[in-house]
Amino acid sequence: MRMRFQDRAHAGRLLVKCPSDAWNESPLVLALPRGGVPVGYEIALALGVPLEVLVVRKLGVPWRPELGMGALAEGGTLYVNPELLMYLELTDADVRAVARKEAHELARQVRLYRGGLPLPDMRGRTVILVDDGLATGGTARAAARAARAAKPRRLVLAVPVAAREAAEALRREEVDEVVTVQEPERLGAVGAWYEDFHPVDDEEVLSLLLEAHDRGASPAP
């Protein structure tokens, strides 16, 4: 049965109630900006654990930017969808051109949201990656590979709604667990699952990170 979330905060409160041993392992919550931050904030608040960001940028097809051909995560982790590249006859040069452009915005967000500081130490920890939805999974794959390189003990992806096929692929190939509230066979647009899916801006991200810092759990951005 399809359920629409009131907003990202509501989705986060429902998500953290879903069964997972990860909630009890003093995890590090890494939200994917911008839309994942309000969801991740609610999870970190409920668990009383740190909230941080792992910045990832979608790589859009040059003539159709809303269609993701891959993603770039901080640290230089790059994921591309080989089937889509072949189908659209995109070249490595096409990917590099888009990646260079997105790298500038990625660096800007790291400076703004984390003061240019490196990601927190993940070695031996349970790390929960959080976003507001999972469609094709390209952004989540790049984030998972960037986090996996930091050698966490366990890596979990938590999203309120995910396309079933994409969630199953992530479970098999990238993360130890995917936690969702809903996994429809046909997702459509992620925003269709929310009553309020307003664009999250820098101000909202910074406000939530500062609130997390004021609780004493997270470093100041």
- Tokens encoding 69: 């051909």
Closest to 11 measured CA to CA, from 200, 212, 172, 185: 200
Q: What is the CATH number of domain 8-214?
A: 3.40.50.2020
Contact call for residues 29 and 40 (beta carbons, < 8 A): yes
Q: Exposed e or buried b for every residue in 100-129, given b needs 16+ CB within 10 A?
A: eebeeebeebbebbbeeeebbebeebbbbb
152: pLDDT strictly greater than 60: yes
- Tokens encoding 120: 């927190």
The pLDDT value recorded for residue 216 is: 57
The pLDDT value recorded for residue 220 is: 45
User: 142: how many CB neighbours lie within 10 A of its CB?
Assistant: 27
Closest to 113 measured CA to CA, from 202, 49, 216: 202
**Residue 183, exposed/middle/buried by CB under 10 A (0-12, 13-18, 19+)?**
middle
Alpha-carbon gap, residue 37 to 109, rounded angstroms? 13
The pLDDT value recorded for residue 218 is: 57
Tell me what the mean pLDDT of segment 164-179 comes to: 97
The secondary structure of 44-92 as a DSSP string is: HHHHT--EEE--EEEEEETTEEEEEEEEEETTTEEEE-HHHHHHHT--H
Residue 174: alpha-carbon gap to chain centroid:
13
The pLDDT value recorded for residue 65 is: 82
- Tokens encoding 57: 């940028």
pLDDT band for position 1 (cuts 50, 70, 90): low
Query: Which tens digit of pLDDT belongs to each residue from 29-84?
Result: 999 999 999 999 999 999 999 899 999 999 989 888 888 899 999 999 999 998 88
Task: State which amino acid sits at residue 214.
Answer: D
**Which residue's structure tokens are 């269609």?**
67
Tell me what the mean pLDDT of segment 146-157 comes to: 97
The pLDDT value recorded for residue 62 is: 87
Residues 6+ apart with CB under 8 A from 121: 150
